[in-house]
Amino acid sequence: MEGYNPFSLSGKTVLITGGAGGIGCATALICIHLGARVVLTDIREEALHDTLASLPPSHTGEPHLCFTADLTAAEQLAALVDFCPVLDGLVCNAGVMKLTLTQFITEAELTRIQKINLNSPILLTRSLLKKKKIKKGGSIVFTASAAGVYRVSIGNGIYATTKCGIDAFMRTVALELGPKGIRCNSVNPGMVETALIGSFTEEEKQREMQNYPLRRFAKPEDIAYGIAYLLSDASSFVTGTALKIDGGMTLG
């Protein structure tokens, strides 16, 4: 059984959005170690090129690709879809968070966050499917959140509702595409040590950590391992599942 690895991503091509961010970058690295070739996209051009340059080559020698795009702009999203080769995996991972108490929510901020966290992943999934760029046997993974889907917290209403939307969309896509052999799941992290949680103060973070039975926040790779599992054939019979990766945070 030497070399037997049902978690292998050998020969698979995976598109990762938010590829220059904490979870995106960790996911790219793990996918490559498991044999995949990656296509990264991000709005931050320089960070994206730096990420691409830092990655090891693919096992097959096929070059990894990157494409700078603002996925909230229709023409840039369309250009990314045209740029993409046919995919075995799609990781809709790009997202933003900003804490705002309900009475201070502005329509502009609400719309901005919804466009990035909810509309763009929905429209990207639509366009890739429509252009038949996701192979039969392929896997779609959304980075949702424990927030909204499993718990809510003060000031996080906008973010939490977008992630609930992703959860419902993920299950809908799983239902529609199951007969075509395409699976769809999400990972649902709690706090992850990335730039995204920069709006929390150190004191808030320390207090929040008391809610984590494992007494730490996730490292990006903790989430990336879950994504890699959902991309791999090891999860062949898993679809429509929200995989909590939260160090036990939502137990209490």
Residues in contact with other proteins by the rule CB under 8 A: 132, 136, 176, 179-180
Question: 179 or 198: whose CB is closer to other proteins?
Answer: 179
**Residue type present at position 34:** L
Nearest approach in angstroms of CB 18 to other proteins is 29
Measuring CA to CA, how many Å separate 39 from each of 58, 89, 112, 135, 234? 11, 10, 25, 15, 22
101/175 with CB nearer other proteins: 175
Q: How far is the CB of 180 from other proteins (least distance, A)?
A: 6
Question: Which CB atom, from 44 or from 171, has the smaller least distance to other proteins?
Answer: 171
CA–CA separation, 13 vs 180, rounded Å? Answer: 19
| Residue 242 and residue 167 in contact, taking contact as beta carbons nearer than 8 Å | yes
- What number of H helices and E strands is found in the chain? 8, 7
Q: Is 159 a catalytic residue?
A: yes
Q: How far is the CB of 98 from other proteins (least distance, A)?
A: 34
Of 197, 176, 148, 163, nearest to 239 by C-alpha is 176
User: Is the CB of 4 or the CB of 132 nearer to other proteins?
Assistant: 132
Residue 219 CB, nearest distance to other proteins (Å)?
39
Alpha carbons 153 and 175: distance in angstroms, whole number:
30
Beta-bridge mates of residue 218: 192
Q: Sign of torsion, CA 209 211 213 218?
A: negative
Residues forming beta bridges with residue 40, ordered by sequence position: 16, 66
* Residue whose C-alpha is closest to residue 7's, from 244, 241, 239, 226: 226
Of 159, 212, 225, 229, the catalytic one is: 159
* Shortest reach from residue 130's CB to other proteins, in Å: 9
Give every strand in the sheet of 13-17, ordered side by side: 65-68, 37-42, 13-17, 87-92, 134-143, 183-189, 242-245
Nearer to other proteins, 86 or 101 (CB): 86
* Catalytically active residues, by annotation: 159
